[in-house]
Amino acid sequence: MPATASADAPTEAVTPADAPVPLVSDSQSLRRAFKDFRDGFAQRELWLSLGWQDIKQRYRRSTLGPLWITISTGLQAAAMGLLYSAILNQDLWTYLPYVTVGLIVWNVINAAIIEGGEVFVANEGLIKQLPSALSVHVYRLVWRQFLFFAHNMVIYLVMLAWVWKHVHWTVVLAVPGIALVFLNALWVTIVFGILSTRYRDFAPLLGSFVMMLFVLTPVMWSTKALQGNASVSGRARLVEIIPTYHFLEIVRAPLLGEPIHRLSWAVVGTITVVGWMIAILAMKKYRSRVPYWV
């Protein structure tokens, strides 16, 4: 009589050799985040073309076309320079370049925050229909702002006739300063773009935040203009706690032949490193969710 297994004996589960192995998604991995950045940059023909097309579309059927970018910024800088040089009792030919360069750099900061917060929502159709990396839309926005910046720098080249005697070899330091400004514009666009896509009330909040920064940052006013007043000259140094002040200084100071404080380089460098760490983590965790949020 064949032996029978005891009822209490443990049974072993037999797994077929060809049984499907459960897959683990890597959509929230650092590898996929960095791959998105690489794939987006590899598609540069797409975002270079789209960025330039954005400018052409804005000034479609206009006689002067993109030159209106330069004209509008020049008129705004001239109006601010004339008004505030009189209010603050500053020399016009010294104060006007100061305001102009500050306004040119501020426009980049402003666009990175305001338009960056809307970058994914504004491209909802492309995100859902075009099989491309999410970073393509970030590169497109920053490239478009670089084109605006290049058009506005024509104003500075014209003003060199007045500021040339103050400019020396340190003007080359403006190049790494400009590079840092746009490098930070990339991570700001990523972080604020994801936050604004998930929380739609975040974009209006950014508008109020930028308005406050514009008032606090010495774009139209100068700390030097307050140094003659002993009651406020010390408190004017409080502006150094405003991050946007340092981004202005690393570009404006060398372009105007003024020294750049090491503090500004240190602050901008720290913000760049910390900001990119946050942006990479945001892309790692939420990149795959953005198409569902838009």
Taking only the tens place, the pLDDT of each residue in 64-105 is 777 788 888 889 888 888 888 888 778 888 888 899 999 999
Structural domain includes residue 210: yes
Query: How much is the pLDDT for 29?
Result: 76
User: Could you give the CA distance from residue 267 to residue 244 in angstroms, rounded to a whole number?
Assistant: 10
Name which of 73-82, 102-111, 189-198, 269-278 the model is least confident about.
73-82
Q: Which of 192-201, 255-264, 266-275 has the lowest mean pLDDT?
A: 255-264
Q: For position 266, what pLDDT does the model report?
A: 95
User: Average pLDDT of 106-110?
Assistant: 94
- pLDDT in the model for residue 69: 82
pLDDT of residue 15: 47
Q: What is the mean pLDDT of the chain?
A: 83
Residue 17 within a domain: no
Closest CA to 255 of 92, 103, 78, 145: 103
Asked if residue 6 is part of any domain, the answer here is no
Name the residue with higher pLDDT: 293 or 63: 293
In a domain, 280, yes or no: yes
18 domain-assigned: no
pLDDT band at 5 (very low <50, low <70, confident <90, very high): very low
pLDDT interval class at 4 (50, 70, 90): very low
Say what the pTM is: 0.84
Does residue 16 surpass a pLDDT of 60?
no
Residue 84 belongs to a domain: yes
Would you say residue 16 lies in a domain?
Answer: no
Indicate if the pLDDT at residue 269 is higher than 60.
yes
* The pLDDT of residue 283 is above 90: yes
150 inside domain: yes
pLDDT bucket at 3, cuts 50 / 70 / 90: very low
Residue 235 has a pLDDT of 59
Domain count, the chain: 1
Residues 132-185: tens digit of each pLDDT: 889 999 999 999 999 999 999 998 888 877 766 667 777 888 999 999 999 999
For 196, the domain range is 30-293
Q: What is the pLDDT of residue 247?
A: 95
Mean pLDDT calculated for residue range 25-50: 85
